[in-house]
Amino acid sequence: MPRPLCATIHLDSMQHNLARARACAPEAKVWAVVKANAYGHGLERGMKGFALADGLALIETENALRLRELGWIKPILLLEGIFDASDVPLLAEHNINSTVHCVEQIKLLEYTQLYRPIDVHLKMNTGMNRLGFKPDEYKAAYKRLRAIPGIRNITLMTHFANADELEHPRLSVAEQVERFVGGAQGLEGERSLSNSGGVLHQAVLQAELQNDWVRPGIMLYGGTPGGRTAQEFGLRPTMTLTSEIIAIQNLVAGDTVGYGSRFEATGPMQVGVVACGYADGYPRHAPHGTPVIVDGVRTSVVGRVSMDMMTVDLTPIRNARVGSQVTLWGDGLPIDEVATMSGTIGYELMCALAPRVRVTEGRLGTHG
């Protein structure tokens, strides 16, 4: 028998969340973001779950090619663009869109003859200060791209730094949009501005966010970039991580649990050992009190999470036993809640799922 730890991927929830993204931005086409192995869900599952998307967006050139091998015939976008001259012919051969965010990438396109026209996304840096041309450099970059014979369509693109907090005191979405509009004034091409935060706030920012394409990521996987909860936005979890109790310890006052003996029982209690640890992708720094569900009852982590195991308080659970079912996140326990308690974000937990964790597919509420 395999170890009882299992991540169940809910394709129906992925489809539901994609529909929510469309409902938020009904006039825009959707790039479903499947970078980082579809946020830990698996590239093939991402392709199936987001089959109705208008295109798939990711970082890894090799995975763009893999999507073509798997039969994806709709558009693909490389969100960081190309990394080497050898990548350029692949864009034409496999009909892949490339983001262009620096002069070096423009040079690669200028110096390589394209036997078939390609589409690109020209990125503007409106304050995120990672990738892209500053607004006052943008038109010159556009002009250079437009002069390349093999460039067909140029989509105008930016990325929001604080779409989860619209009125961020340092850099609001409205300020970024204003910079974008100024830098792109007079340029032809479709617009792509919104990540998950922008999509989820599309109704509030209807006047500002004139998107032809949106690029939802975390919302498609049942998480949010911050602010309100996934449930409030009508999103459903797409990954449920479950395990079982594999041992039970009966403690008395003064007994301690785990490495460092940081948790001390104040009286008689039962502690369950769960087959899951940080080598599986569960956050090592999850503190005492981080929620888990055992046999349908909410309880919490006690003691330090170790490599292969963690310990939970069984005191609230009647008839707990070896084999009791444990939900670590997902159905009934939002991943964002576990992440927040652990000082991180849901993105990291999804992406950190270890290769040794067994993965299955199942509809929400029917694990494994």
Catalytic positions are: 35, 259
Helix (H) or strand (E) holding 323: none
How far CA 1 is from CA of 321, 325, 330, 358, in Å, comes to: 19, 16, 24, 12
**Among 38, 3, 1, residue whose Cα is nearest residue 17:** 38
Any known ligand binding at 130?
yes
DSSP, residue by residue, 120-171: EEEEE-SS--SSSB-HHHHHHHHHHHHTSTTEEEEEEEE--S-TTSTT-SS-
Cβ(16)–Cβ(10) under 8 Å?
no
Residue 46 to residue 32: CA distance in whole angstroms: 9
- On whether 358 is known to bind a ligand per the annotation, the reply is no
Q: How far is CA 147 from CA 99, 179, 224, in A?
A: 17, 25, 40
Residue 306 contacts residue 278 (beta carbons within 8 Å): yes
Cα angle: 148, vertex 154, 156; to 5 degrees: 135
Q: DSSP secondary structure string, 277-302?
A: -GGGT--TTPPTT-EEEETTEEEEEE
367, 242 Cβ separation under 8 angstroms: yes
Q: Which of 202, 102, 213 is nearest to 153 (CA)?
A: 213
Binding-site sequence positions: 130, 307
Binding-site sequence positions for substrate: 130, 307
